[in-house]
Amino acid sequence: MLSGKTVLDLSWILGGPFGGQLLAQLGAEVIKIEPIGGDFARTVPPVSDDEDSAFFLSVNRGKKSIALDLKHPDGREAFYDLVRRADAVIYGFAPDVPGRLKIDYASLAAINPRISVAQLIGLDDKGKYAKAPAFDLVVQAMSGLMSINGEENGRPTRVGYQVADLAGGLYLALGALAAMLKAETTGQGEHVQVSLLDCQIAMLTWQAQGYLSFGTVPRAMGSRHAMIAPSEAYPAGDGRYIAISPTGESFWRKFCEAIGRPDLPDDQRFGTATERMKNVDALAEEITETLRTKTAREWEAILMEARVPAAVVNRVDEALATPVVRERGMVEEVVRPADGKATALIGSPFKFRDAPILAYPPALAADTATVLMQRCGYSHERIEALASVGAIQLAAE
């Protein structure tokens, strides 16, 4: 789908590289441009004996790696030569860095008018927030997300994975796609800026709109839905939890039949959606009492057979071993080039006819020489000269 498009990925750590990997999964050639010494994510533990970081492996499949010093005039010139032959650049520097490095949109568009730049920032590009560190936890806190996550009346709770960083990467990839489409149709690229905080505010959707429209402040409710009952995770007889959400009258009645409680819909406390919400605590007690008679897996099988929306609350290892996850290729065996060892990596969520099979994440600077020779026409002598002054880094022997 993006075959023939080249993206220069200057991002690091998690959000930006995740966006770059999405573009690779859609077929783009993604060249990861790392600083001399490499992306810090390469050192985030746990790190294997082979010096592979699970953190780095998760968001850098299918990319090529070159290492440049953008502060060195020769390193920056090499980057400019790549820009001349690229379609998009993505990066996640602090807002003032691109201008200081002369890699801002205006500088790059002067070199290649068709270039698109997708920029990921933390909070804002001006005022007091421009230089504020915007770590994932901080963004979750600022956006209000932590106030609606976790148990009712409990401590503020972060989402278990870096949702602010990863959502930023999703929006970054979408922005880059739109900018490249504009260049395709008009011949002129675009600068798209994405803020981690903006993304989290946008993802509040109906909860934020509910406040704006009606003044209702959302709050943490554990797994319980704010507007639908029953819809939460209930303990079963083995202590495991099963999430059940029989939304609508049809599913509600099917659920009650499946668990052997056909009396519940006739109980005046639970006869309508409004009454179920009004009496949600009493409803939860009735359901929990019944669900304690079997294990969570037994109930899951019963409810799946009845086509009632339900699933055991899996651990991550259980989720990755789930047959449908494996059948859909969300865990893939990929060969590690260094030793030919097969390694399990996360698969692509995009399913289309010519979807690329992404290679193992690249070793640091593995492609510096090849990319500069093939894309920019550099000679071996020029590459060696650039390496000797520290403008570029070559692959380790």
Just list the catalytic residues: 225
> Among 349, 345, 374, which residue's Cα sits nearest to residue 359?
345
- Which ranges constitute the DSSP H helices of the chain? 15-25, 54-57, 73-83, 97-101, 105-111, 136-142, 163-186, 196-203, 205-214, 249-258, 273-278, 280-291, 296-305, 316-321, 323-327, 368-376, 380-388
Both tokens of residue 241? 């939890």
- Helix orientation angle between 73-83 and 368-376, rounded to the nearest 10 degrees: 60
The arrangement of strands across the sheet holding 116-121 comes to 191-195, 116-121, 88-91, 6-9, 29-34, 63-68, 392-393
Do you find a cis peptide bond into 73, omega within 30 degrees of 0? no
State how far the alpha carbon of 252 is from the alpha carbons of 215, 230, 246, 248, 297, in Å: 30, 8, 5, 6, 20
CA distance 270 to 276: 5
